[in-house]
Structure 1
């Protein structure tokens, strides 16, 4: 086994986050109350209704006051945030934490995700791969680290898109079409190597639903005009994409300390799950359905989102130092933007060798060594 050197802070705290934890997945599960596993479809549907009513209300206000210039920036941020909330509910459908009824999960998942141009089954399956391989250098799916060899082979435009803020915050649509650097496949192609042969019919269904949504938007543009459609839907969609990339990136990149990535026999489902990070989004926690409680969600994606906070609090005594408490700094978590910028600047690739590795920085790109 080889590993990169721990950070100075890890030495100071005398805690190595890559060390095998003194507990098992079963120990964490046993600490979580039984009722946290119960899925209430009516409660899940009530969140869908809440989000739809807010989205419709925002749209109505925007149409009525469309000549007010001050309105549009507020509308875009609010509506884009609600699109993100809808994504989180569709994400629950993909995990089966929305309800115990697979048909209800599939129907609601297609409605919710297609409405924001996400292919439900294509994303559901790749996201399942992400959860099953979290923290694994080669096999993870979401914001998977590049090896030094892969990073070195990237052309300048690709490096720019991936490592210069705010460009990485628009990565999601590109990821849906062609995945991350070093991987191949499309979430819309039933013959992509991401999917097993028996899953192809699911991909066809989701791609068809996605196509129908695009067709509906094109038709809508002929009714209300492309400019109004751009203001009502396209700009909020871009805000939603920024939310998605912002949140998913922060949940899988360092906290106050660098976190390990694994290969080979050093990887396990538990150790990989402990590389995820909880975040506090202030006033947005309730709006985005507590997606910030990410560690327990990654280990137990079957838990409904409305039980994640309680489940996390119950699991903290078991997790100990392996759980990094999210920093709280008021209703608007502006510190997270600094965390994002700092991480994108520093976390470029991992070593080609070693079963426990940490992100390294290409000093040629940033112009100076990052401490």
Structure 2
């Protein structure tokens, strides 16, 4: 039996959701979120530092709510499709993500994760070293701004949710468009009711930190679980789904309380191997499949290194920093000049083969550009 089939067989028993576990998870997620939000509001009369503490805790449960939303998008939270759709739509209003739109883009992400020819939908903007070298000055500036941590995690939550997901993508299906409209209207109504009840200043003082903390943490989780040094990216002809899942998704080993708030999404390699596994079974699936122990493991400390991984080196198959990428570009140009000088000095018989080899190498590399 191939390793792929063996892994699938090991994971299969965990692809069945547990109705009781799903309902229990809703009850240990949504009420704590609401109560902590209300505690943050009540504490405005005491200390804003206390408000921020309650807001941070509330944000943790909003992240957990998003993980349930995420499972609904994969149809793994409930057995019934309609139950997934209704729950997902409601949680989409709470987290400000339109259910049908996000489900569509996220499924594209899963279908082509780690495939250099299928970047651009449901993932982070990523350039290879070669693409960065060939990019215009304006594209390089935009890419550097995008990859700046202050922009990515500071402005990112607002840009993504307030702007990015409020509009339908070109060519979106009617069902997707209607769901986006429903989500937008529902958010306006919900926020208007809360502002009517407590005032706009109190609403902003409480919900902006809740929204920003949960959004920044969500982007960080998505970022760090695919952007590690020896991640997996291949061109279409060499791309493999299982390798992309196991080698291109990390096991983010978090403290137990953080694992709880993030709905076990740290077992991201298991999730990409089988999106049908509900979040409350991800750890068990990981432990039941010994080959998954070889997945790249990162911790809170080591994950910070990913902040310097900005470009994918297609030749060495690893992430590099801007500085390292530019150094390798300079080395490539220098070696190209040296090769040109050697060619000028070579005899006609010696100049026949090298161009053929270069063309073969460039054809493969250029397919991702």
TM-score using structure 1 length: 0.77
Distance (whole Å) between structure 2 residues aligned to residue 44 and residue 66 of structure 1: 34
Distance (whole Å) between structure 2 residues aligned to residue 56 and residue 68 of structure 1: 19
Query: What aligned pairs does 1:327-342 form with structure 2 within 5 A after superposition?
Result: 327=299, 333=300, 335=301, 339-340=303-304, 342=305
- Alpha-carbon displacement from aligned partner over 1:244-297 (angstroms, at most 9, x marks no partner): 11111111011xx42231112111211211210010221211122111111011
Find out whether 1:201 has 2:201 as its counterpart: no
Partners of 2:251 and 2:268 within 8 A in 1: yes
- Alpha-carbon displacement from aligned partner over 1:173-229 (angstroms, at most 9, x marks no partner): 534678xxxxxxx65544525x4xxx3322322332233212331343244221110
Aligned match of 2:253:
280
Distance (whole Å) between structure 1 residues aligned to residue 131 and residue 204 of structure 2: 37
Aligned match of 1:314:
288
Partners of 1:122 and 1:188 within 8 A in 2: no
Aligned match of 2:95:
116
Choose the corresponding residue for 1:266, options 238, 247, 268.
238
Distance (whole Å) between structure 2 residues aligned to residue 85 and residue 161 of structure 1: 29
Distance verdict in 2 for CA 1:271–1:44, change over 3 Å: same
Partners of 1:87 and 1:112 within 8 A in 2: yes
Distance (whole Å) between structure 2 residues aligned to residue 224 and residue 320 of structure 1: 50
Aligned match of 2:321:
361
SS of residue paired to 1:252: coil
Partners of 1:85 and 1:288 within 8 A in 2: yes
**Residue ranges of structure 1 left out of the alignment (5+ in a row):** 1-21, 179-185, 328-332
How far 1:163 moved relative to its partner?
2.4
Distance (whole Å) between structure 2 residues aligned to residue 207 and residue 279 of structure 1: 35
Distance (whole Å) between structure 1 residues aligned to residue 293 and residue 52 of structure 2: 42
Partners of 1:33 and 1:314 within 8 A in 2: no
Distance verdict in 2 for CA 1:207–1:366, change over 3 Å: farther
SS of residue paired to 2:209: helix
Range with bigger deviation, 162-171 or 233-242: 162-171
Distance verdict in 2 for CA 1:318–1:64, change over 3 Å: closer
Distance (whole Å) between structure 2 residues aligned to residue 220 and residue 60 of structure 1: 11
Find out whether 1:44 has 2:22 as its counterpart: yes
How many pairs align? 320
- Alpha-carbon displacement from aligned partner over 1:31-78 (angstroms, at most 9, x marks no partner): 2362x2221233212211211110122123223332222311201211
Choose the corresponding residue for 2:306, options 343, 362, 368.
343
Query: What aligned pairs does 1:73-152 form with structure 2 within 5 A after superposition?
Result: 73-140=52-119, 141-148=122-129, 151=132, 152=135
Partners of 1:27 and 1:318 within 8 A in 2: no
Partners of 1:191 and 1:200 within 8 A in 2: no
TM-score using structure 2 length: 0.78
Choose the corresponding residue for 1:225, options 199, 202, 217.
199
Find out whether 1:163 has 2:147 as its counterpart: yes
How far 1:148 moved relative to its partner?
4.2
SS of residue paired to 1:143: coil
Work out which of the two has the higher radius of gyration on C-alpha atoms and give 1 or 2. Answer: 2
Partners of 2:89 and 2:99 within 8 A in 1: yes
Partners of 1:190 and 1:200 within 8 A in 2: no
Greater helix share, 1 or 2?
A: 2
Aligned match of 1:289:
263
Higher relative contact order (CA 8 A, sep 6+): 1
Displacement over 6 Å in runs of 4+: 364-369
Partners of 1:297 and 1:303 within 8 A in 2: yes
Distance (whole Å) between structure 2 residues aligned to residue 364 and residue 279 of structure 1: 25
